[in-house]
Amino acid sequence: MGFSQETHDRAREIIARYPADRARSALLPLLHLVQAEDGYVSPAGVEFCAEQLGINKAQVSAVATFYTMYKRRPSGDWLVSVCTNTMCDVLGGQRVYDALSEHLGVGHEETTADGTITLEHAECLAACDYGPVMTVNYDFFDKVDPDIALGVVSELRAGGRPAPTRGARLCTLKEMSLQLAGFSDTRDGAVADGPAGDPTLRGLRLAQQHGVSVTGFDPNTPITGDAPVASRPAPAATGSTAPDVKAPQAKSPEIRAAETRAPDAQTPAPDAPGTTVPTDRAEPDSDAEAAESAGAAANPPASDAKPAGDSPQPQRAALRDARSEEGTQ
């Protein structure tokens, strides 16, 4: 199935966000874009991304299979993820997942017969202080139990959109993918920030209650970035025998990299800014070295510094000829 003209127009808009020689950086939002139309990253979506960026399908697939947010088979409108990692599991996460699996009649990464819900267990949803947690298209439902979880999916299957515990109103998987591709959601109430929950603020409130703060910290001090090295006060003597940590030297990254590769070298790398390449460089020591250089020149590096060609035959042939000449001398 071909993609709509709107998707083609949006793909061009996405690619235009990046420098011309960095167009491949648009791959992640492009994958979200094709998922927004198909509901998953289909084989046609992989081909579409490859054509838009001028790369091969294997390169696209390598990225699409690495990130779990890209679905490789058709998914429902609502991706229900239940955390079953250690903290949530101890608090009942596995019981929530088991109840949903039995009620929906599906297992991990399976979709209900009506195509509305895809269920998955998640290793971690980064909300341990609200466990057990469940997300619907990555929006949080905190401190759920089997009854709460079943109520959420029942409302979803009935066509409703239950309000998450925190954040904006729910959106379908396709709507969410379009947002992740970089296009705003114009629905009323689509953008909202919920207040920080009590578990998140608990440490701050305890610190305020007991007067705990970092020694010498003035909360009214503006954050303006690091002060210049020369203006920083010298550290007080502590009696430590640890070596002093010196401020970084004002050297270019190229010079520092060259010194790392050859720490005994006394001169900067020839390609460092502000230096010149010596003109009295000796000729190659042997015909073999000359042949090797010729082979490398015949196979110039691509933009990622790897050989552009797939075959080293020219270089091998040149080396073989050079060695044959050495043997006849």
Residue pLDDT, tens place only, 87-96: 999 999 999 9
Could you tell me the CATH number of the domain that includes residue 59?
A: 1.10.10.1590
Q: Are residues 50 and 183 in the same domain?
A: yes
**Tally of structural domains, the chain:** 2
One domain, residues 66 and 130? no
Residue 223 resides in a domain: no
- Regarding whether 163 and 141 lie in a shared domain, the answer is yes
Is residue 38 assigned to a domain? Answer: yes
Domain finish residue from 161, 187, 213: 187
* pLDDT tens sequence across 141-188: 999 999 999 999 999 999 999 989 887 789 999 999 999 999 988 777
More confident residue, 185 or 217: 185
List beta partners, residue 135. 81, 140
**164/89 same-domain check:** yes
User: pLDDT at position 200, please?
Assistant: 81
- More confidently predicted of 224 and 170: 170
Per-residue pLDDT, 272: 46
Question: Which H helix or E strand runs over 120?
Answer: strand 117-122
Distance CA 49, CA 27 (A): 7
112 in any annotated domain:
yes
What's residue 214's pLDDT? Answer: 76
User: Is residue 124 located within the same domain as residue 52?
Assistant: no
Evaluate whether residue 12 is within a structural domain. yes
Kindly report the CATH number assigned to the domain that includes residue 135: 3.40.30.10
Report whether pLDDT(120) > 60: yes
- Checking 59-66 for CB contacts under 8 A at 24+ apart, the result is 60/27, 60/31, 63/27, 63/28, 63/31, 64/31
For residue 108, what pLDDT is reported?
Answer: 94
- For residue 120, list its beta bridge partners: 81
Supply the pLDDT for residue 309: 46
Domain boundary among 160, 187, 214: 187
Domain, as residue range, for 17: 1-74+172-187
**Calpha distance 41→283 (Å, rounded):** 54
Per the domain annotation, does 263 fall within a domain? no
Q: Of 29, 27, 92, 84, which is closest to residue 60 (Cα–Cα)?
A: 27
Asked if pLDDT for residue 71 goes beyond 90, the answer is: yes
Q: Do 63 and 93 reside in the same domain of the chain?
A: no
Tokens 């490859």 correspond to: 50
The reply to whether 179 and 69 lie within a common domain is yes
Reported pTM:
0.61
pLDDT confidence of residue 64: 95
What lies within 8 Å, CB to CB, of 54 at 6+ separation is 23
Residue 239 clears pLDDT 60, i.e. is over it: no
Q: What is the pLDDT of residues 274-317, one digit of tens each?
A: 555 455 555 555 665 666 666 656 655 555 444 444 445 555 56
Residue found under tokens 């490398």: 296
Least confident of 82-86, 259-263, 267-271: 267-271
Residue 80 has pLDDT above 90, yes or no: yes
H-run or E-run covering 118? strand 117-122
Percentage of residues in the chain having pLDDT higher than 70: 64
**Do 52 and 21 lie in a common domain?**
yes
Shared domain for 162 and 95, answered yes or no, is yes
For 143, the token pair is 């401190």
pLDDT at 324 over 50: yes
Looking at residue 245, what is its pLDDT? 46
32 lies in the same domain as 177:
yes
Q: What is the pLDDT of residue 94?
A: 96
327 vs 60: which has the higher pLDDT: 60
Instruction: Please give the pLDDT value at position 97.
Output: 97
**Res 288: pLDDT:** 59
CA–CA dist 30, 23 (Å, integer): 11
pLDDT (0 to 100) of residue 219: 65
More confident residue, 280 or 6: 6
**Together in a domain, 6 and 135:** no
In a domain, 136, yes or no: yes
**Given pLDDT bands bounded at 50, 70 and 90, which one contains residue 269?**
very low
**CA pair distance 165, 135, nearest whole angstrom:** 10
Name, of 169-173, 206-210, 262-266, the range with top average pLDDT.
169-173
Considering the domain architecture, whether residues 177 and 143 belong to the same structural domain is answered as no
Residue 298 within any structural domain of the chain: no
- Asked whether the beta carbons of 282 and 268 are under 8 A apart, the reply is no
What pLDDT was estimated at residue 81? 97
For the residues of 39-101, what is the DSSP string, one character each?
SS--HHHHHHHHHHHT--HHHHHHHHTT-TTS-SS---SEEEEEE-SHHHHHHTHHHHHHHHH
Question: Does the residue 317 lie in any domain?
Answer: no
Residue 136 DSSP SS3: strand
